[in-house]
């Protein structure tokens, strides 16, 4: 039996519940019957837990839920009005020449491939993503990413659009996992063993979320530490293929 992923509660009061979503767990129930974060939270915190926004199944990190109908309406309005600010950490393929930039490319449904998105000036909806380099490795880069809009698959698509798909992304990249053997020259496995990748899911983590508390009206910031698998990539590659560290001592 597969081990249940643990869910870390970052903040909770009578109006708001903020959690760190594990990678691989859907935000809400889907067709495949897999347990969702919403169901897990309702089982532990009551049926009053309400959806405000979502993260892709393979994305880890900070996500908020409302505890009352009034809070749900207020928080949903913040996301619709773009007053809620989201910051992600993204591990992408290749080396970006500039240290920062902005992607302005409208997004539309891919009519030839259901569930997939495309960049389209003709029929797409406005989408803007700002990015900044944090660490350059030999063939991977860790970025801080701030989406100004909230389109489906926005970060994944936009980064692929500029030629730097997320590591291990099977939809907008080649899906190849990140393996230690690629970077460790003397890597050896015992006979009969198969290498376990450092990262086998899409390399995206929701790091910070800034919003206005739905009851007090005060600004609040929540942060989810970098997920274990992405943290392992950063640690291992920092030892073996570090090119440039621009984090200024930031802790993920």
Active site (catalytic) residues: 56
Q: Which two tokens stand for residue 56?
A: 């892709």
Strand 242-245 and strand 128-137: the pairing is antiparallel
The answer to whether 18 and 216 have CB atoms below 8 angstroms apart is no
* Alpha-carbon distance values, 216 to 14, 15, 33, 50, 211 (Å): 12, 10, 37, 19, 11
Identify the DSSP state of 86. Answer: E
Q: How many CB atoms lie within 10 A of CB 11?
A: 13
Backbone angles phi, psi at 10, to 5 degrees: -90, -30
Identify the DSSP state of 51. Answer: E
* Strand partners of residue 107: 119, 125
């Amino acid at each position: 039996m597969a081990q249940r992923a643990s869910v870390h509660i970052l903040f909770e009061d009578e109006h708001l519940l903020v959690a760190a979503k594990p990678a691989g767990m859907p935000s809400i129930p889907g067709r495949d019957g897999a347990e969702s974060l919403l169901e897990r939270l309702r089982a532990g915190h009551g049926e009053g837990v309400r959806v405000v926004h979502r993260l892709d199944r393979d994305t880890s990190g900070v996500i908020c839920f409302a505890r009352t109908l009034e809070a749900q309406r207020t928080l949903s309005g913040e996301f619709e009005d773009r007053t809620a600010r989201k910051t992600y950490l993204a591990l992408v393929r290749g080396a970006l020449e500039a240290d920062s930039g902005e992607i302005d490319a409208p997004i539309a449904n891919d009519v030839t491939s259901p569930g997939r998105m495309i960049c389209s000036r003709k029929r797409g909806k406005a989408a803007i993503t700002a990015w900044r380099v944090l660490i350059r490795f030999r063939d991977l880069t860790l970025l801080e990413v701030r989406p100004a809009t909230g389109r489906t698959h926005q970060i994944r698509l936009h980064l692929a659009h500029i030629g730097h798909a997320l590591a291990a992304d099977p939809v907008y990249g080649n899906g190849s996992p990140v393996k230690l053997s690629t970077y460790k020259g003397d890597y050896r496995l015992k006979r009969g063993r198969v290498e376990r990748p450092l990262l086998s899911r899409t390399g995206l983590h929701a790091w910070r979320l800034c919003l206005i508390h739905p009851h007090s009206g005060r600004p609040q910031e929540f942060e989810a530490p970098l997920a274990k698998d992405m943290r392992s990539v950063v640690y291992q590659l920092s030892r073996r293929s570090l090119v440039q560290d621009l984090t200024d001592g930031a802790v993920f």
